[in-house]
Amino acid sequence: MMDQGLTDASRPRISGLRSSKLCPSSILLPGILLSSCSGSHSPLDPAGPEASHVAHLFFVMLVGGVVIWIAVVAALVYASRKKNAHSEKAAGRVILWCGAILPTVLLCALLSYGMWLMPAIRPWLPDDQQVRRIEVTGEQFWWRVRYLDEAGEVMFETANEVRIPVGEPAHFSLKAADVIHSFWVPSLGGKMDMIPGRTNPLTLTADREGTYRGVCAEFCGESHALMAFTVRAVAAREHDAWLAARQASKPLDAEGLATFLNNGCGACHAIAGTAANGRIGPDLTAFGERGTLAAGTLPHTETDIARFIADPGEIKPGVKMPHFGMLPEDDIKKIAVFLKELK
Amino acid sequence: MKSVIPREVESLWTLFTAPTVWAIHFVVCYAAVAVYCAKAATFGFDFATVRLALAGFTVVALAVIVLSAYLAWRQWGFGSGDPPHDEATRKDRALFQGFATLLLSGLSFVAVVYVAIPLIFIAECQR
Ligand SMILES: [Cu+2]
């Protein structure tokens, strides 16, 4: 598996069919099996306890459904072969038992099983006992990510990529800035809606290191399908080092910064250690570390960054960033190189 | 039993008794938990108390539904005749209604049980 979910094959204009390369069996039964592939965003390839419970629930339901389906079809075949072989009374008894009583008992059992799993699927701690807290706000069509300290104060902000330590529960406080979004990392657990005016809690734990893909799972506008993000699960020590590094803000000066600032990008984007402190768009501090561009829409390459700056609306319809196609090509390129190198 | 309950309480209204109990039980369960969890801090009791109270309410609701089912069963002649009871007579109409009420009571009983199952497993408010 590549480090990132995005390869050239996932550029929007190229046929999505190419991604089925990931899983040969999907050629046979695309609908069902595509989702059964292992990968960075499959609920059937769980990477943590919450997701394992979801997968387990799915398989129990699947097996139960298949058994019931086979029994119903067998009864149907039997009935069509042996017409009038049984008395009406016997038929009435079959309807009572198999049509009413058995389904009631089975549904009761499945409902109880699902309910019994709930606490494991949605582990929950009171606010004051949560340690690693990350606030994620859904915005049309990207994710604002803020790391909170023990007191709940914002340590720093970033966007479209979430880092969590392996083996420790990460507590997400989920919010929405405009419309309803939904936060879903299939490999790590169930989804949780992000509702304007509310803060919804979600706890996820990653058991193994890796890069997982998350998506917006509630239609939120034209580019809803282009609103994804990356979760990187790294060793706890590495994570702590990263947190510390991100908080130590050092003044930054690089080739291209002036072009970035002069064209007004800083009014919407912030870069720590520079005069850019806009809050409207994604924070671009250490942008070069990210694996994808524009909320999982494009691969993170200079060409794609330049393409996005020139005409974001072409790539993400309805995007809240003006297009900068009128800038000299050299300037766009300079900014793209600057952003790509931003560590 | 017969001395306590009037001989013929059955009307079209008895048909609705069980589904109405189901509806009330549903609203009470959802509203009670939602209000408690939103304002837990202002109440002097814990969530276990809410669950216990709703469990008690569930038993009451089930008892009313069983009573309604008993009346329906009686109206249906304790199962002496088989459906469909579709003659245009007063007797068949009463039998049909009794049978329909009995089925609705069964459905409502199961529904109330299903609504109450989360009370067993959901042990705390998540905020
Ligand atoms: Cu969204």
**What predicted TM-score, i.e. pTM, was given to this entire model?**
0.79
CB contact under 8 A, B126 and A201: yes
pLDDT at A77: 92
**Residue at A128 is within a domain:** no
- The tokens of B75 are what? 């109206």
Q: Does A95 touch chain B (CB under 8 A)?
A: no
Ligand 1: centre distance to CA A228 (Å): 8
Ligand 1: centre distance to CA A283 (Å): 18
At B60-108, the pLDDT tens digits run 999 999 998 898 888 887 877 777 777 777 778 888 888 888 999 999 9
Choosing from A121, A149, A170, the residue where a domain stops is: A121
pLDDT at A234: 93
pLDDT at A3: 43
pLDDT at A19: 40
* CB within 8 Å of chain A, chain B residues 3-62: none
SS3 B36: helix
**Residue at B29 is within a domain:** yes
- The tokens of B1 are what? 């039993």
Same-domain status, A242 and A328: no
ipTM of the complex: 0.82
Ligand 1 is an ion; residues with CB less than 5 A from it: A 181, 216, 220, 227
What's the mean pLDDT when you consider all of chain B? 85
Ligand 1: centre distance to CA A50 (Å): 22
Count CB neighbours of A253 within 10 A: 8
CB contact under 8 A, B117 and A108: yes
pLDDT at A4: 45
pLDDT in tens, chain A (343 residues): 344 444 444 444 433 333 433 444 444 444 444 444 567 778 888 888 888 998 989 998 899 889 889 999 998 998 888 877 788 888 888 888 988 899 899 889 989 998 888 888 887 776 666 678 899 999 999 999 999 988 888 889 999 999 999 988 899 999 999 999 999 999 998 899 999 999 888 889 999 898 999 999 999 999 999 999 999 999 999 999 989 888 887 777 778 888 888 888 989 999 888 888 889 999 998 898 888 999 989 888 888 999 999 999 889 999 989 999 889 888 899 899 888 888 8
Same-domain status, A261 and A241: no
CATH number at residue A257: 2.60.40.420
More confident call, B44 vs A59? A59
Residues of B in contact with A108 (CB under 8 A): 110, 113-114, 117
Number of domains present in the structure of chain B: 1
Q: Could you tell me if residue A296 is left (phi over 0), alpha (psi between -120 and 50 degrees) or otherwise beta?
A: left
pLDDT at A47: 83
Range of the domain at A88: 49-121
pLDDT at B24: 97
SS (H, E, C) chain A: CCCCCCCHHHCCCCCHHHHHHHCHHHHCCHHHHHHHCCCCCCCCCCCCHHHHHHHHHHHHHHHHHHHHHHHHHHHHHHHHHCCCCCCHHHHHHHHHHHHHHHHHHHHHHHHHHHHHHHHHHCCCCCHHHCCCEEEEEEECCEEEEEEECCCCCEEEEEECEEEEECCCCEEEEEEECCCCEEEECCCCCCCEEECCCCCEEEEECCCCCEEEEEEECCCCCCCHHHCEEEEEEECHHHHHHHHHHHHCCCCCCCCCHHHHHHCCHHHCCECCCCCCECCCCCCCCCHHHCCEECCCCEECCHHHHHHHHHCHHHHCCCCCCCCCCCCCHHHHHHHHHHHHHCC
Closest partner residue to A104 (CB to CB) among B110, B118, B120 is B110
Same-domain status, A281 and A230: no
Residues of A in contact with B126 (CB under 8 A): 122, 124, 201
pLDDT at A227: 93
**Residue at A191 is within a domain:** yes
* CB within 8 Å of chain B, chain A residues 96-125: 100, 104, 107-108, 111-112, 115-116, 118-119, 122, 124
Q: Tell me: pLDDT of B55 over 80.
A: yes
Percentage of chain B surpassing pLDDT 90?
43
Q: Does B120 touch chain A (CB under 8 A)?
A: yes
Same-domain status, A242 and A139: yes
Å between A233 CA and nearest CA of chain B: 26
Number of domains present in the structure of chain A: 3
